[in-house]
Amino acid sequence: MAAKGPIIALDAMGGDNAPGIVVGGAAIARERFPEARFLLFGDPAVLEPLVAKDKLLMEAVEIREAADSISADTKPSQALRNGRDSSMWQALNAVREREADAAVSAGNTGALMAISKFVLRTPIGVDRPAMASIMPTANGESVMLDLGANLECDADNLFQFAILGALFARSTLAIERPSVGLLNVGAEELKGSDAIKGAAQNLRLHEGDLPLSFYGFIEGDDISAGVVDVVVTDGFSGNVALKTAEGVAKLVSEFTRRAFKASPMAALGYLFARPALRRLSTHLDPRKYNGAVFLGLNGIAVKSHGGSDAVGFANAVGVAVDMARHGFLENVRTEFERLQADGLEDKTASL
Amino acid sequence: MAAKGPIIALDAMGGDNAPGIVVGGAAIARERFPEARFLLFGDPAVLEPLVAKDKLLMEAVEIREAADSISADTKPSQALRNGRDSSMWQALNAVREREADAAVSAGNTGALMAISKFVLRTPIGVDRPAMASIMPTANGESVMLDLGANLECDADNLFQFAILGALFARSTLAIERPSVGLLNVGAEELKGSDAIKGAAQNLRLHEGDLPLSFYGFIEGDDISAGVVDVVVTDGFSGNVALKTAEGVAKLVSEFTRRAFKASPMAALGYLFARPALRRLSTHLDPRKYNGAVFLGLNGIAVKSHGGSDAVGFANAVGVAVDMARHGFLENVRTEFERLQADGLEDKTASL
């Protein structure tokens, strides 16, 4: 196995439809990124026949035995205690040992978060890793974080998330100096929590030294309007916003589908408009935005939706490839080391 | 002025397009609710000629002079200090003095919240009022609260919001025993804050004594799926969810509009499907869901969107009429008095 391109470690046994969609996703990813190689962690007896069906994939893949796998209902604490032989842990360990440039799993989110934090650790200057994802907006795409890793966040956490999110946007959306907004509420009497106000103050103060431009506060409707490149919020609100957005997109699609079935004329109209509407659903396809990333670790770990298909899984692999190629980890290290050297973190902490 | 139906006090000077949309909204509401009467608070010199254009409206309206009005950028504290002569304050005062059954304003949200809380007070057993609204879902409509009145909430607040929301759903959606869900996050390792867990515990424990059935935790995508009749959350998350939902609905509509313009075939398809699609946009029309309500006060106060038109304002008036007609306030009083008598509030507080 030649190691020219990035090497991606795959948790072959994680997710509702594993290992089928993982092997299928690897096959699609191989076509998209011919230079990438894959370490497939799982049960060789199951994986070998699946991989053997695709000669080209066989050349890009190395199967590594993992005796165990982590189920959807395993608690993070159990996974940490008993999960060392699992395909998930082994995939993350390959990243730690620098055998792989990134790991991708469709398995249990909580376990993946706990194990990746334990195995990969946070770099100096990062207190807590955050979960980020890319979302479609009116004028392109934006990054949002945290999506559920940290229910409650203080000003320092949000400040660090802003930097991590900006560097992620640079790697995946190719924006050199992304704009960052802090999610807040609009009602006039509410000025936001101390954490949000503190983070805003620090971002405003140190914007010149940071790889971002600070937009200020935004509201929920600004997310999909694409007002900023990076939306920063705590894990509770971020999770609520992400899932609410998914739910509403689904609702409107469902209503539109019903509208086209409402009359023969409407059905005829659908026939004419179908190609355009299909392009639209492709554009909004949730599989395109599959791949939540844990930012703020000494390694790249990407979470695919548990119910994803092979196309979705391949997109999650694509996020990992982008981050590996664009030196995301080096950028994070450089940025936070510089902040430490400037004593900025200390100033921030004292606010 | 005969006072058979509900009497609604209107802040004629509040909102971006006041007083035009208020008078226009009253005219539409009069047609819908012929038995309703309106007290119009504001500048008679401006209001009289507007009302005089509509003979039928004139019969249903009484203009009351208010020397002042509260602007969009007035802080709640300023409004409380200096706002006594404002049209907003006077409209709320009419509710307090039992001259009117409800007040509706399209003015400054923060000021309206502060003044209505000061003028109307909370009934015994309610610690804090919450802001609620009705939203469209896959299978009808749901109520969500709090939408921004209380950034942070404890278990008791959420417990009380559940009761208030259920009684509001009974008045406006005609559901005798609404199902209630607590908004939470889905990532497996996160069990929610102490406030959410405490509220869930209390709701589960006392469900039999409450005018609701407790569903348990829901996630963001369950809101528009219509999994429950009432979504309960803190004001920060509720505001984020509501505005995110509005933003995504707008984004998908915009993308659909673009899709129909993408080719001549698609444009032709639009012509055929237009009636069905128009019915759809009517169904999702944000004006239909105009009217956020402050629940948990000794009086009915409804907030119309500041940028609303006359149709939207009339819908906000409709919410006020529904609440007045269905004895919302009496239900709240009865329910919370019973809870006090049962000592349930004390048990709850001790958790």
Give the length of chain B. Answer: 351
**CA–CA dist A220, A196 (Å, integer):** 15
| Residue A280 Cα to chain centre, angstroms | 23
Question: Of A286, A314, A339, which closes a domain?
Answer: A286
Asked whether B33 and B5 are in contact (CB, 8 A), the reply is yes
The verdict on A110 and A152 lying in the same domain is no
Shortest CA distance from B272: residue in chain A:
A269
Task: Summarize the confidence of residues A20-34 as an average pLDDT.
Answer: 96
| Domain range enclosing A16 | 7-122+296-326
Q: Which residues contact B35 (CB under 8 A, 6 or more apart)?
A: B4, B5, B6
What pTM was computed for the model? 0.90
The verdict on B118 and B205 lying in the same domain is no
B187: nearest CB among A75, A110, A262: A110
Task: Summarize the confidence of residues A54-73 as an average pLDDT.
Answer: 95
The verdict on B136 and B240 lying in the same domain is yes
Is B237 an 8 Å CB contact of chain A? yes
CA distance B140 to chain A (A): 11
pLDDT in tens, A83-101: 999 999 999 999 999 999 9
Question: Of B286, B310, B339, which closes a domain?
Answer: B286
CATH value at residue A200: 3.40.718.10
pLDDT in tens, A237-260: 999 999 999 999 888 888 888 888
Q: Looking at chain B from residue 153 to 212, which residues have their Cβ under 8 Å from any Cβ of chain A?
A: 183, 185-190, 192-193
The verdict on A209 and A310 lying in the same domain is no
- In-domain check, residue B340: no
The verdict on B279 and B147 lying in the same domain is yes
pLDDT in tens, A163-195: 999 999 999 999 999 999 999 986 444 568 889
The verdict on B139 and B263 lying in the same domain is yes
Is B3 an 8 Å CB contact of chain A? no
Mean residue pLDDT of chain A comes to 91
The tally of domains found in chain A comes to 2
- In-domain check, residue A351: no
- In-domain check, residue B205: yes
Question: Of B259, B286, B313, which closes a domain?
Answer: B286
Q: What is the DSSP letter of A235?
A: H
The verdict on A85 and A208 lying in the same domain is no
Of B58-72, B138-152, B266-280, B288-302, where does mean pLDDT reach its minimum?
Answer: B266-280
- The widest CA-to-CA distance across chain A, in whole angstroms, is 69
Is A146 an 8 Å CB contact of chain B? no
A285, two tokens: 């396809």
Alpha helices in chain A (DSSP H): 20-32, 44-52, 55-60, 76-82, 87-96, 109-120, 155-173, 194-206, 220-225, 235-260, 264-284, 310-325, 328-341, 344-350
CA distance B123 to chain A (A): 22
Selection from B290, B321, B292, B309 nearest residue B37 by Cα: B321
The confidence score (pLDDT) of residue B350 equals 44
pLDDT band of residue B347 (cuts 50, 70, 90) is: low
